[in-house]
């Protein structure tokens, strides 16, 4: 069944220009919409920490029942998201082909707003509802990372930010480390005395050519797309004295991820020593993995909500990350909710309207199911 309210709101918001670091126009509209629903809305100071103009929106509506539930999605979008012109064809929304559609993640925003309107409008007793609309999610989960978690009381949360049909839930995602190796060689004249130099470029090439990368195992990957080398000048007649390797490692298992990080460090050092080069390896935790079992309260509620709507209940584990990685690491059982989009981050992005409308119903069902559990306790 078509939901004209959700449809119109989606068109309104995707045609409101937004980008990572420039979410202010969307934030103004969402603040008004949430306040109309009885929420107290605050904006934190996350924006300036990343050079942005807007912080995370954190909205709270105190409830009549004990307990708290968090609902979240993000306000930013990947580049090429200005001037979006949505086009509907055969029950699917697209852009006009020159931009993304920004269903990632405006569809999630709309699903949450619809679920709130339905449940609050019903007049039924509800728990404390916490809505978090984050900034700069597309830039390594920036807004969620710096948000103060103490403002939230919920121990269960749903992130409406995932491709797939209504009823698909993301209960796991990998962790990620940023890996970097800076190699220092020794310059020398490439024609007169190359043997007197230490070639940083050759060292880099030998590290990469012998490094385990790509699909390391069934749940672990690595990728090193950033390679550079050179000397103090642009001349190619000087043996390279500097090189850089930069990339990432991901795994759904924290120990395997840490093992790969240590392997990368040891491998780089070994090859550098063989060449007589100096090397500095740095590793940075970006986000941690999580996996939530179907016995967890968040999953039990999700399945019950699907049963209520007659939706097929499906779980999946991602190869990428979302704000749920951050919340789970802080102790909140937080799973992703699909909202009907596909091919996100591309000009072929699309939104299946039936699944999109059902995601609004699913949000309401999640709130109602959680409320029923609160009453039963």
Q: What is the pLDDT of residue 325?
A: 95
Active-site residue identified among 9, 23, 44, 76: 76
The SS3 call for residue 28 is helix
CA-closest candidate to residue 144, choices 329, 12, 336, 304: 329
Inter-CA distances, 340 with 116, 164, 194, 315, Å = 19, 5, 59, 15
The residue count of the chain comes to 377
| Cα-Cα-Cα-Cα dihedral sign, residues 207, 196, 243, 175 | positive
Q: Please give the Cα distance from 272 to 254 (Å, whole number).
A: 27
The string of DSSP codes covering 220-238 is EEEEEEEEEEE-SSS-SSB
Q: Please give the Cα distance from 326 to 339 (Å, whole number).
A: 20
Q: Does domain 175-287 have CATH number 3.30.70.360?
A: yes
Contact between 371 and 65 under an 8 Å Cβ cutoff? The reply is yes
State CA 128 to chain mean position distance: 25
Start-end of CATH 3.30.70.360 domains in the chain: 175-287
Start-end of CATH 3.40.630.10 domains in the chain: 4-173+289-376
Give the chain's count of helices (H) and strands (E). 10, 18
Q: Please give the Cα distance from 363 to 29 (Å, whole number).
A: 20
Q: Which residues contact 366 (CB under 8 A, 6 or more apart)?
A: 69, 71, 115, 158, 301, 302, 305, 337
CATH fold of 4-173+289-376: Aminopeptidase (3.40.630)
Q: What is the pLDDT of residue 234?
A: 61
Query: Phi and psi dihedrals of 217, rounded to 5?
Result: -150, -170
Query: Phi and psi dihedrals of 222, rounded to 5?
Result: -145, 155
pTM above 0.75, yes or no: yes
Active-site residue identified among 9, 23, 105, 137: 137
Q: What is the pLDDT of residue 49?
A: 86
Q: Nearest 5°: CA angle at 358, between 353 and 362?
A: 150
CA-closest candidate to residue 163, choices 369, 300, 376, 355: 355
Q: Look up residue 90 and give its DSSP letter.
A: T
Inter-CA distances, 86 with 30, 66, 104, 257, Å = 20, 42, 14, 41
The per-residue pLDDT string of the chain (377 residues; one tens digit each, 9 = 90 and over) reads: 799 999 999 999 999 999 999 999 999 999 999 999 999 999 999 988 888 899 999 999 999 999 999 999 999 999 999 999 999 999 999 999 999 999 999 999 999 999 999 999 999 999 999 999 999 999 889 999 999 999 999 999 999 999 999 999 999 999 999 999 999 999 999 999 999 999 999 999 999 999 999 999 999 999 999 999 987 656 789 999 999 999 999 999 999 999 999 999 999 999 999 999 999 999 999 999 999 999 999 999 999 999 999 999 999 998 889 999 999 999 999 999 999 999 999 999 999 999 999 999 999 999 999 999 998 77
Q: What is the pLDDT of residue 329?
A: 94
**137 tagged catalytic:** yes
């Amino acid at each position: 069944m078509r939901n004209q309210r959700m449809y119109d709101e989606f068109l309104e918001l995707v045609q409101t220009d937004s980008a990572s670091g420039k979410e202010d126009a969307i934030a103004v509209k969402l603040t008004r919409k949430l306040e109309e629903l009885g929420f107290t809305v605050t904006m934190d100071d996350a924006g300036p920490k990343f050079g942005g103009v807007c912080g995370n929106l954190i909205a709270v509506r105190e409830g009549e029942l004990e307990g708290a539930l968090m609902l979240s999605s993000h306000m930013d979008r990947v580049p090429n998201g200005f001037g979006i012109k949505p086009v509907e064809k055969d029950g699917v929304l697209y852009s006009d082909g020159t931009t993304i559609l920004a269903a990632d993640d405006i569809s999630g925003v709309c699903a949450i707003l619809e679920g709130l309107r339905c449940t609050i409008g019903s007049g039924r007793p509800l728990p404390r509802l916490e809505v978090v609309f984050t900034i700069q999610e597309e830039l390594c989960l920036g807004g969620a990372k710096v948000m103060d978690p103490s403002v939230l009381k919920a121990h269960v949360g749903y992130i409406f930010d995932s491709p797939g049909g209504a009823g698909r839930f993301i209960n796991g995602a990998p962790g990620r480390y940023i890996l970097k190796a800076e190699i220092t060689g020794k310059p020398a004249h490439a024609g007169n005395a190359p043997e007197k130099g230490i070639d940083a470029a050759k060292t880099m090439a030998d590290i990469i050519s012998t490094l385990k990368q790509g699909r390391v195992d069934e749940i672990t990957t690595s990728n090193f797309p950033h390679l550079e080398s050179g000397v103090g000048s642009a001349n190619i007649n000087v043996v390279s004295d500097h090189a850089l390797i930069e990339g990432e490692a991901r795994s759904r298992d924290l120990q395997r991820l840490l093992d790969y990080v240590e392997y990368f460090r040891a491998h780089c050092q070994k090859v550098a020593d063989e060449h007589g080069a100096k090397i500095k390896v740095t590793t940075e935790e970006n986000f941690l993995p999580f996996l939530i079992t179907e016995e967890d309260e968040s999953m039990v509620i999700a399945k019950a909500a699907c049963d209520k709507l007659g939706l097929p209940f499906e779980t999946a584990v991602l190869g990428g990350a979302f704000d749920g990685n951050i919340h789970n690491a802080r102790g909140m059982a937080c799973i992703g909710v699909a909202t009907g989009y596909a091919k996100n981050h591309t000009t072929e992005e699309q939104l299946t309207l039936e699944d999109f409308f059902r995601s609004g119903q699913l949000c309401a069902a999640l709130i109602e199911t959680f409320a029923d559990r609160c009453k039963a306790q």
